[in-house]
Chain A
Amino acid sequence: MPVPVPPRHGGIAPCPGQIPMLAGVGLRPRHYADVLADPGQIAWVEVHPENYLCAGGPQHHYLTQVRERMPLSFHGVGLSLGGEERPDAAHLQRLRALAARYQPGLFSEHLAWSSHGGHYLNDLLPLPYTRENLARMIDHVGETQEALGRRILIENPSLYLAFEASEMPETAFLAELAARSGCGLLLDLNNVYVSCMNAGTDPLAYLASFPRAAVMEIHLAGHAPEFDRDGLPVLIDAHDRPVADPVWRLFARMVEHLPPVPVLIEWDSDLPDWPILLAEARRAQSIVDRVHERGGGRDVA
């Protein structure tokens, strides 16, 4: 079933692969031409590797050119590492081949599951934070890192519900996952905000207990405010609009308490024109620059 990904004639002569400690954007086909027209505008980009698991076609044509000009990160959505079932070996091999071709500087996945019983549910689904699920996910992350031959990052999820069966807070689950599997963490501040608002908890308290030393990337994105059947607000992790002000404030606060890490703007549907997306990345960068000019961002707790 796996489609082999042949190396392109001549292969890629990439520019350095390491993701710089600067703002990047999630790259969608709509913006290929904008990025290539003036690659100096953005420091790095991120893509979902699942969208490139094909033999050929325009997306490889453009991504190859992009990779020749800037570092690239892979943000996987399909490994279902939080699930009961082991990560799919054939899928891992396809990802490994794709990574060999594009040499991504970072490779991230999610604290979530999405496959069960041979079917893929195409959503990032929540799991109870139990000792048993933690032990299993440590194994899955370890297996993935071995198959890919590299360290991966795991992202905190957007939650709409919680489980009575949970035995520990999410931050403790992530801390132990990172400590015992050796993975890094991707701190998605929009997800923190969405989850905390949906649960009625305090995002600052969440961040105070987040294992900061393991953070290797930050995500920012927009969410959709909606209402549930009881008329109570519920935030949907829609990635379809600018980053919300409270999320910018969380970001400014976290930058002060973290060593420099790459930050990424995710915008995946209702895509804006390129200058609007670029302006979001510049806003993130200016917040980082302001903090570091003041000498902040170094007090790693």
Chain B
Amino acid sequence: MTSPDSLNSEAGFARALWDARLPRPAGVIGRAGRPAADRFDIHRNNIFASLTAALRARFPVVVRLVGEAFFADMAAIFIRRHPPVSPVIMEYGGAFAAFLKEFDAVGALPYLADIARLEWLRHLAAHGADAVPADLSPLARLAPSAMAELRFTLHPTATALSSAYPVASIWRANAVAPDLQPVLADSAGESVLIVRPHRQVLLLDLPPAGDVLIAALQEGRTLGDAAALAAARDLDFDLTLTLAALFRGGAITGFAPGHSSSN
């Protein structure tokens, strides 16, 4: 399928860059007319080293959990299977969590894919749209019935993540602790709110089904309806704790009484 002629073209050059098993292109020369096989490898190395560095910066706790060398090998496989589709490298790596989920070699770390999801969402929040958290003091004067009718506008960077594993505990322990922490993988699953109200990305714990409330608010439901959905999902849902996380995180940028028409 790959003739030497087709290698001496942009398509062949690109194919041989992605796949080190392919022969290097014909017709390239190095110093004073010498063949340039290892000169070609400089470009291969540039591509894989730079993309691996981007992934390493984006998924620091995944790196921590599997080790630098293993991460580099894994990244090379990921890069070959999912090369960037845009020159904006900031947008590269969204497929990494799904890749880890299917990657047999990390089967012993079943939570790894969710750690990658968490790190990807932190990355998205870091570069997402800016918005100013709302002044929530007027809410203190509202009657509980009026509270239930409120609709909130959430910060554009706010996302909730729910995992069957204690992702937030694992992430915090390994993002800040100097030594690798024992992973409490048998502990209960966790939900977290990720938001960047100002310069820093915040990670706030949510009670069970807190993510359901947040998703419902993002769909434009009233607080009362959203709380009912969350409570139906999990008996341990706690509205006060969820609101506290949203308030503390600066995750609410606006609110309106529910009776006003909303699309």
Contacts and interface: CB of A to CB of B under 8 A. Distances in A.
Interface of A: 1, 6, 50-51, 53-61, 77-80, 83-84, 88, 91, 94, 113-123, 125, 127, 160-165, 198-200, 228-230, 232, 234, 236
A161 B87 CA distance: 23
Interface string B131-168: 00000000000000000000000001100000000000
Interface stretch (B41-49, B67-75, B222-230): B41-49
Contact of A78 (B50, B88, B196): B88
A53 B43 contact: no
Interface in B1-56: 8, 10-11, 13-14, 17-18, 27-32, 34, 36, 38-40, 42-43, 46-47, 50-51
B254 interface: no
Given A53-B88, A160-B42, 8 more contacts: A57-B130, A59-B127, A78-B87, A94-B88, A119-B18, A122-B47, A123-B50, A160-B30
B109 interface: no
20 contacts: A50-B89, A56-B128, A57-B127, A57-B196, A60-B130, A61-B199, A79-B87, A84-B10, A88-B86, A91-B87, A116-B10, A117-B11, A119-B84, A120-B83, A122-B46, A122-B89, A161-B39, A198-B39, A228-B30, A232-B31
Given A56-B129, A123-B43, A161 B83 contact: no
Contact of B86 (A55, A83, A91, A127): A91
Nearest to B17: A121
Nearest to A116: B14
B48 to A, nearest CB: 9
Contact of A1 (B11, B86, B130): B86
Interface in B81-124: 83-90
B27 A164 contact: yes
B206 interface: no
Contact of B87 (A80, A165, A229): A80
Contacts of A118: 85
Contacts, number: 131
A161 B127 contact: no
B252 interface: no
Contact of B32 (A50, A122, A163, A200): A200
B126 interface: yes
Interface size class of B (residues with CB under 8 A): 35 or more
Contacts of A1: 86
A200 B31 contact: yes
Nearest to B34: A230
A123 B46 contact: yes
A164 B50 CA distance: 28
A55 B36 contact: no
Contacts of B30: 160-162, 198-199, 228
B129 A55 contact: yes
A160 B32 contact: no
Closest 8 CB pairs of A and B: A78-B87, A56-B130, A54-B127, A55-B129, A116-B14, A161-B36, A161-B39, A119-B83
Contacts of A79: 87
B47 to A, nearest CB: 5
Nearest to B124: A54
Nearest to B54: A122
Nearest to A118: B85
B180 to A, nearest CB: 27
A164 B8 CA distance: 10
Contacts of A57: 126-128, 130, 196
B36 A6 contact: no
B29 A161 contact: yes
B20 to A, nearest CB: 14
